[in-house]
Amino acid sequence: MNLIAAVDKNWGIGYRNSLLVRIPEDQKWFRETTTGKAVIMGRKTLESFPNKSPLKNRLNVVITSDMSYKVQGAVVVHSIDEAIEAVRDYEDDDIFVIGGESVYRQFLPLCKVAHITKIDYEYQADAHFPNLDTDENWHITDGSDERTYFDIIYEFVKYERRNNE
């Protein structure tokens, strides 16, 4: 399984249930990387999307503790085990955990690859991704050159779990 996120200097990922910043190239890369695949997210992440609608051309798996929660175009589950069962027909490389904070933290031990857009700026954030730079289980295996969008500097970085088994 994969994790995919955009983080700021402090590994912040969101504020008040919104992304910290929207970078068109990052959004395009996210779309191209996850289209045709399975995405796993929490309810609040789904509700942060335009019209609170599932992402097109993907299997959307939404985790919530609300047993009566329903959303057209998505599979609603109530645990990590149910989420894993919902994506069982997908190859490991075709499953992406897309947030939010608690979902990332719960799935981190189960994932082998993390695709991180690192933004060289410190935003006000109330949701964070685990800092992989300080986690001895993860290391950088690939990365892009620095890029800019107006005055925002960012790069695409691939982390992999050590001792993938």
**Structural contact between residues 75 and 61, judged by C-beta atoms closer than 8 angstroms:** yes
Residues 6+ away with beta carbon under 8 Å from 16: 126
Neighbours of 111 (CB within 10 A): 20
| CATH code assigned at 88 | 3.40.430.10
For residue 163, the model assigns a pLDDT of 81
**Which structural domain range is residue 44 located in?**
2-161
Torsion, Cα 6 60 164 113, to 10 degrees, reads -20
For residue 122, the model assigns a pLDDT of 97
Residues 6+ away with beta carbon under 8 Å from 132: 114, 116, 138, 159
For residue 164, the model assigns a pLDDT of 55
Handedness of CA 38, 57, 44, 127 (dihedral sign): positive
Neighbours of 53 (CB within 10 A): 14
Number of structural domains in the chain: 1
Instruction: Classify residue 96 by burial, with Cβ atoms within 10 Å: 0-12, 13-18, 19+.
Output: buried
| Consecutive 10-residue averages of pLDDT for the chain (165 residues) | 98 96 97 98 96 97 97 97 98 97 97 98 98 97 97 98 75
For residue 109, the model assigns a pLDDT of 96
Tokens of 137: 């289980």
Q: Alpha-carbon distance 47 to 30, whole Å?
A: 18
Q: Alpha-carbon distance 59 to 24, whole Å?
A: 23
